Structure 1
């Protein structure tokens, strides 16, 4: 099984290396071009069974991370009730001190069917240490180990995310610190960004299968890295950046079909026909009015994307609608979309891992500055909002 994947990837790498000087359509650097092609090949050919064999679950990856970093695991198991699905249990894992004042509730990427990687935990570990140290604040990340597709389909992932958020805000047990909404931030990359946005949509428009969350005040903010906001292939960047990005554009509707349970539409969707989705699972289908009360649910929004990624145009469309709704709802300049030229999918995270922890890319600096500004006003109810 792994030999077949290795063969595909190795042959792709050889071709990219040999042809690089002669191609006009390529990633911004030689290193990125070869790496993205290798990942693109892997994601094109890997099956769910192969993915489970190589990386069984987010929980198992978290435990491996803790062993490698000599850290004591700290996790939550939170029961929830669903009108349609009955009872369930959400799991989440701490990076940093569970008693920290500020919590980043994080949803990992992985095309909805793959668990979190070791890189996810390493990046978050660096983030909670870095952003807190500079401002003298205690920050921790809580990674939701949401159920994976195709075994679990939407809205299971929203049910789990909502359960963890409610636990953070309204926990009544003696072991869990109750936090003010302003001290909780939603974050996620790629598919995880989609789930984070589904949770934001749920705050605005309670999903009929998920218990509503009534906020006393807006959450601190939302930080998304290259969120998957469309399950369609009709965007121009899907073609324009197909040979630059790490994501194979042809698989986007396939992953979306697994996530939403719309596998009956898989054949037509692969030819570019839109799946039947909604604003919760595909934020791009929501119009501007959907986001009118966004500033009443979150204090700040930062969405990062790369000019060379296949999601570039769909994220741009989300920006247009979300900013319009934000303005109509009375919000001011607290919403920010940053599109970095020459950068591909989840650029800040990939650059951090490729450079051995160096934080000198332009998008990494944007993230650092955003967190610095958020923590500057931490704990002050009068001026935490813009």
Structure 2
């Protein structure tokens, strides 16, 4: 069960804000993980083969992550995290990749992963509950994606958005920055919208949905974004395990599967750090959200009626769901509403929407495959679907 013994009202902006008690707690968890590995290995070797078909070491990876994260509080996770920009340059150095950075309005940044050629681009927004910076798993998967596409004869630029983290920055700051990132791709860099793949995972997967919502239904606090008449649709929308609901009442959220990396207490804490709940007073220790915003169709896309998505300015959409993830049920429900709405405004069979439940995979499974050093890559369904979408979209243009 998650460790909730440390009372927390807000997340630390820097590591120095974490108490000595919390630091000691994080060290104890690390020692417990090391001690538990032999037991986890034995349990996995004696259990049935993973539904995903991957070797046992991939299951061990998931169990170790689950074991560790179930015993920490989001504040303690911050102990292991540094600023997004620092992480990107650190990971780039390890992979011998050149990174350049562009400053955007409202505090956002675009980090260009490798060479920029200006023809096709993946604009990527990382997850982490809006509270955690980018991780090695995000940059590792984007690096791998770029290599796979290049091997298949497709050159693509990779732009990674750095947005402000909670609770210092609260909703709709992250949405505003995501919209500015997309605006910059089109107006600042001159990419044809048809050559843009707009993608993200978890909270980032929600932000790409929210930013596209803003194109159709401008948020009152954010400057409208109008796509050019010559190219009125983005090439593709990629949403990996999107965090579309703050509810912890779904059966998949309540189930204890000992595999996933998202827990009900994470959802409760991170959602409160992002935006005020509609049914309780604003927390005195949290900075205010802009103009007292609360839950809505942007920060919780599942709240939108199907008709909200009619007229979606995107040619192809891929929503990926891990069968073993706690967010599974909420994403499936959202995917049904989303597809229904998009199909209302599209010719029969031409909505371009694909919703895939990936058998045996956890939350954002494709990202964590990069955590298996020295092992030949084993493609899960998530990774295959991502690369297939990118290849099909970019080959057409």
Question: Normalization by structure 1: what TM-score?
Answer: 0.83
Q: Secondary structure at the match of 1:193?
A: helix
- Structure 2: how far apart are the matches of 1:90 and 1:238? 32
TM alignment of 1:213-292, pairs within 5 A: 213-216=225-228, 217-240=232-255, 242-262=257-277, 265=280, 277-292=295-310
Task: Indicate if the aligned counterparts of 1:305 and 1:347 stay in contact, CA closer than 8 A.
Answer: no
Aligned partner of 2:6 in structure 1 is none
Aligned partner of 2:220 in structure 1 is 208
Task: Identify if the C-alpha distance between structure 1 residues 249 and 14 changes in structure 2 by more than 3 Å, giving closer, same or farther.
Answer: farther
- Structure 1: how far apart are the matches of 2:335 and 2:295? 19
- Structure 1: how far apart are the matches of 2:37 and 2:275? 33
Q: Is the deviation greater in 357-366 or in 233-242?
A: 357-366
Task: Indicate if the aligned counterparts of 1:109 and 1:116 stay in contact, CA closer than 8 A.
Answer: yes
Aligned partner of 1:338 in structure 2 is 356
- Structure 2: how far apart are the matches of 1:27 and 1:8? 27
Equivalenced residues, count: 355
Q: C-alpha deviations, 1:38-84, integer Å up to 9, x for none?
A: 323433444555444422211000111222233332011012xxxxx
Q: C-alpha deviations, 1:286-344, integer Å up to 9, x for none?
A: 110111111xx111101111111111111111111011101111252411011112111
Task: Indicate if the aligned counterparts of 2:99 and 2:114 stay in contact, CA closer than 8 A.
Answer: no
Aligned partner of 2:14 in structure 1 is none
- Structure 2: how far apart are the matches of 1:198 and 1:207? 10
Within the candidate set 99, 105, 115, 1:73 is matched to 99
Structure 1 unmatched ranges of 5 or more: 80-87, 172-176, 268-274, 379-386
Q: C-alpha deviations, 1:88-138, integer Å up to 9, x for none?
A: 32112111322331111111111221111122112111212221441x332
Higher relative contact order, chain-length normalized (CA < 8 Å, sep 6+): 2
Q: Tell me whether 1:184 sits opposite 2:188 in the alignment.
A: no
Task: Identify if the C-alpha distance between structure 1 residues 341 and 27 changes in structure 2 by more than 3 Å, giving closer, same or farther.
Answer: closer
Aligned partner of 2:11 in structure 1 is none
Task: Indicate if the aligned counterparts of 1:307 and 1:340 stay in contact, CA closer than 8 A.
Answer: yes
Q: Tell me whether 1:196 sits opposite 2:208 in the alignment.
A: yes
RMSD value, Cα: 2.8
Task: Indicate if the aligned counterparts of 2:276 and 2:294 stay in contact, CA closer than 8 A.
Answer: no
Question: Normalization by structure 2: what TM-score?
Answer: 0.81
Task: Identify if the C-alpha distance between structure 1 residues 9 and 259 changes in structure 2 by more than 3 Å, giving closer, same or farther.
Answer: farther
Q: Tell me whether 1:350 sits opposite 2:368 in the alignment.
A: yes
- Structure 1: how far apart are the matches of 2:314 and 2:132? 28
Q: Secondary structure at the match of 2:315?
A: coil
Q: Tell me whether 1:310 sits opposite 2:305 in the alignment.
A: no
Aligned partner of 1:174 in structure 2 is none
Q: Secondary structure at the match of 1:149?
A: coil
Aligned partner of 1:325 in structure 2 is 341
Q: Is the deviation greater in 321-330 or in 44-53?
A: 44-53
- Structure 1: how far apart are the matches of 2:208 and 2:134? 15
Aligned partner of 1:3 in structure 2 is 27
Q: C-alpha deviations, 1:240-282, integer Å up to 9, x for none?
A: 3543322223321221111224498599xxxxxxx96111001
Task: Indicate if the aligned counterparts of 1:359 and 1:365 stay in contact, CA closer than 8 A.
Answer: no
- Structure 2: how far apart are the matches of 1:184 and 1:153? 27
- Structure 1: how far apart are the matches of 2:235 and 2:376? 26
